[in-house]
Amino acid sequence: MIRIGGVAMLVVGIAAMWTIAGTLYPTLPPQIPLHFDGSGSPDRWGPPNFWNWFLLPSIGTVVPLFLTGIAAVIPWLLRNYPGLVSIPRRVQFLALPPDGQRRALTALAGMLLWISTVLVWMFAGMIYATALVARGTWSGMPLWVALIPVGAILAIALFGNFLVSRRILVESVIASQRA
């Protein structure tokens, strides 16, 4: 269900994010921004201790891995608790044979992997931007650091929903031809 290439892409992103955080950590000044307001200006500062600096990459690891775990658990949920999963064309999906359901869910798993990977790179950008603000190179975090990835995530979700819906229709046609 979850393709090795997609997982490899996610693992490379997580490794790069931690490499960026680990490489920048020894070079941080005595105070770093801990939070940014809606316009990207730092509104809370603190010392660059381990917790303050490595919280962001920790969140940037846990959230994407959680989404990837959801992708792995969805087939089981759909078999045992179909009401818990929101999937396009649910009635048609549940009527598919198991192999048709598996093929339809491949698109959903791919979408979640892409979203997870974009999230990791967004967190990597936020870590790098935080270091630049801490050093005084930038006065604040540019909004594009978060807005471009969020836009990409929305586009992936919309396109992924379309692909899942289309795959369910195709599998429904294949199942009806076999019947």
Angle subtended by helix axes 98-135 and 4-24, to nearest 10: 10
Q: How confident is the model at residue 1 (pLDDT cuts 50, 70, 90)?
A: low
Q: What is the enclosing helix (H) or strand (E) of 93? A: helix 90-95
Task: Please name the helix (run of DSSP H) or strand (run of DSSP E) that holds residue 45, with its range, or none.
Answer: strand 42-46
DSSP conformation class of 27: G
Work out the pLDDT band at 71, boundaries 50, 70, 90: confident
pLDDT band at 16 (very low <50, low <70, confident <90, very high): very high
Strands (E), 76-129: none
DSSP-derived 3-state class of residue 43: strand
pLDDT band per the 50, 70, 90 thresholds, residue 98:
confident
CB 138 within 8 A of CB 32: no
pLDDT at residue 86, rounded to an integer: 83
Structure tokens at 156: 């992936």
Length of the chain as a residue count: 179
What's the rounded Cα separation, in Å, for the pair 151 and 149? 5
Rounded mean pLDDT, 66-76: 87
Look at the block and give the residue holding tokens 């940037």.
60
Question: Which band of pLDDT confidence, cut at 50, 70 and 90, is reported for residue 78?
Answer: confident
Handedness of CA 127, 130, 136, 142 (dihedral sign): positive
